[in-house]
């Protein structure tokens, strides 16, 4: 396996975990999309988690593009 494969697998697992961690409400139904609240401002750890998720998503997509191009 090449470094691209390892980067892709690790970033995929981390990205999946980060997406599942982010919830809009306190209940399980809200985490699965059933929350009726509208939260427009991210603050504190929620904002940091959102930014880290974007960075990991970029790394994941870049590793896929580099793997296909190689």
Q: What is the pTM of this model?
A: 0.70
3-state secondary structure 21-35: HCCCCCCHHHHHHHC
What pLDDT is stored for residue 32 in this prediction? 57
Which pLDDT does position 10 carry in this prediction?
94
The Cβ of residue 60 has, within 10 Å, a number of other Cβ atoms equal to 20
Find out whether 49 and 24 touch, Cβ atoms under 8 Å.
Answer: no
- The tens digit of pLDDT for each residue in 4-51 reads 889 999 999 999 999 998 866 554 445 555 555 555 666 777 888 889
Tell me how far CA of residue 15 lies from CA of 20, 33, 70, in angstroms: 9, 18, 23
Residue 48 has what pLDDT? 86
Cα 22 to chain center, whole Å?
8
């Amino acid at each position: 396996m090449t470094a691209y494969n390892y980067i892709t697998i690790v970033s995929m697992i981390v990205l999946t975990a980060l997406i599942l961690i982010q919830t809009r409400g306190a209940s399980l139904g809200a985490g699965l999309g059933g929350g009726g609240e509208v939260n427009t401002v991210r603050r504190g750890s929620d904002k940091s988690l959102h930014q880290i998720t974007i960075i990991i998503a970029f790394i994941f997509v870049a590793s896929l593009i580099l793997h296909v191009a190689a």
